[in-house]
Structure 1
Amino acid sequence: MTESGNSVEPIITNDPLEHYLGATIRDLRLKHGLTIAEVAEQAGISRGMLSKIENAQTATSLETIAKLASALGVSLSTLFRDYNVPEGGAQLVKRGEGMEVVRRGTKRGHTYHLLAYDQGPTKLFEPFLITMDDASEVFPTFEHPGTEFIYLLEGSLEYRHGQYTYLLEPGDALTFRGDIPHGPERLIQLPIRFLAIIYYDSLKAF
């Protein structure tokens, strides 16, 4: 490719990077309400050259790309920020839509909402939003594989782990081994809400 004044030797390219850059430059230009002529003038290139860049009809130098980034008011790194980024696929559970599950020994005034669901054969973790609003409920002790993390959002309670009891108030966090008997000991201020995340060792997951 050669650039001499307004003379450009076009190169038809199927390079995914050229397509990405072209689309990104065009999107930024349109976002800022700029015309091809305005951006081309600021970057010191011809309108035809910019049009070919936006449509991935030519390759261009890093120097020209840097000038275009400056003309668009962004850094060079911003132009490449989303290039070759994995597609992803996060699991979103909206407020109040967590799957309600029943844990052994819990009957009333005690709800578990599962906030994420493993889709593969191996269960790595379980995040729960737990709500308690009945002070008369008697709780069983729980034992399970892995490590559990609790973060209190609302209310207060005493929580037992093995031979020790811990007072939990909003903002407090408690982490412990799940295979040691544990569970709520006394509900102090209702309603109580906390996050409980159980992480399973991948070698022991089931």
Structure 2
Amino acid sequence: MQLADDDKTPLERYLGSTIRELRQRHGLTIAQVSAQAGISRGMLSKIENAQTSTGLDVLNRIAQALGVSLSALFRNFDVPQGDAQLVKKGAGMEVVRKGTRRGHTYHLLAYDQGPRKLFEPFLITMDDASERFPVFEHPGTEFIHMLKGVIEYRHGQQTYILHPGDTLTFQGDIPHGPERLIKTPIQFLSIFVYPQTTPD
């Protein structure tokens, strides 16, 4: 059935472009795919251009001619648009936090999380073993994952020796912070997860 532009559905447009992309990716011509699928070249061209609708049997034969499953033709249909934020190595914004001095840097790895802050991921580097650190307190939960070096980290009355690969998770409103830098340089990932209030 020939479709007017107004009658074309998002699914027909998606299937047409997907079939064309797969055909071109495999270096196949319309003649080759149509012959394998047992349909005319004109029909395949119309399907690729969303100018006609077709049944599952024909789509299955086209999929086999392309060397994929029928489900592969629909795999990415109606998938939400991606909106990931990529921060390349070394491109995190350096931020200043209370008590940070020489040899102690925070790089913020994600920004702009809407009107309410959900989390903050930092890459923290320390290389001055003589530095003394303040005590930190903040709402929510903090997660630390050690990447390099060895540190003694305090949370409340307890201290923990952290080596590369170790993780520490704790409530941020209890006083915490580095107690002693045992082996520098030290680098760890610190993620603050903030509590979310539900609207009344």
Using the size of structure 1 for normalisation, the TM-score is: 0.92
1:120 Cα offset (Å): 1.5
Aligned to 1:45: 39
Alpha-carbon distance between aligned partners in 2 of 1:101 and 1:88, rounded to the nearest angstrom: 28
1:11 Cα offset (Å): 3.7
1:30 matched to 2:14: no
Per-residue displacement from partner, 1:6-26 (whole Å, max 9, x unpaired)?
xxxx34441111111011101
Alpha-carbon distance between aligned partners in 2 of 1:116 and 1:107, rounded to the nearest angstrom: 22
RMSD between superposed Cα atoms in Å: 1.2
Where does the alignment leave 5 or more consecutive residues of structure 2 unmatched?
A: none
- From 153, 166, 171, the counterpart of 1:172: 166
Per-residue displacement from partner, 1:166-192 (whole Å, max 9, x unpaired)?
010000000000000000111111100
Aligned to 1:16: 10
Per-residue displacement from partner, 1:126-168 (whole Å, max 9, x unpaired)?
0000000000000011000000000000001110000100010
Q: Identical aligned pairs, as a percentage? A: 71
1:46 Cα offset (Å): 1.1
Where does the alignment leave 5 or more consecutive residues of structure 1 unmatched?
A: 2-9
Count matched residues. Answer: 196
Aligned to 1:52, the other structure's residue is in SS state helix
Alpha-carbon distance between aligned partners in 2 of 1:91 and 1:36, rounded to the nearest angstrom: 38
Aligned to 2:123: 129
Alpha-carbon distance between aligned partners in 2 of 1:168 and 1:30, rounded to the nearest angstrom: 52
Aligned to 2:75: 81
Aligned to 1:161: 155
- From 132, 139, 149, the counterpart of 2:143: 149
Using the size of structure 2 for normalisation, the TM-score is: 0.95
- From 183, 192, 200, the counterpart of 1:189: 183
**Amino acid across the alignment from 1:103:** R
Alpha-carbon distance between aligned partners in 2 of 1:69 and 1:109, rounded to the nearest angstrom: 58
Alpha-carbon distance between aligned partners in 2 of 1:36 and 1:133, rounded to the nearest angstrom: 62
Alpha-carbon distance between aligned partners in 1 of 2:9 and 2:149, rounded to the nearest angstrom: 58
1:102 Cα offset (Å): 1.0
**Amino acid across the alignment from 2:188:** F
Aligned to 2:177, the other structure's residue is in SS state strand
Aligned to 1:7: none
Alpha-carbon distance between aligned partners in 2 of 1:22 and 1:118, rounded to the nearest angstrom: 37
**Amino acid across the alignment from 1:97:** A
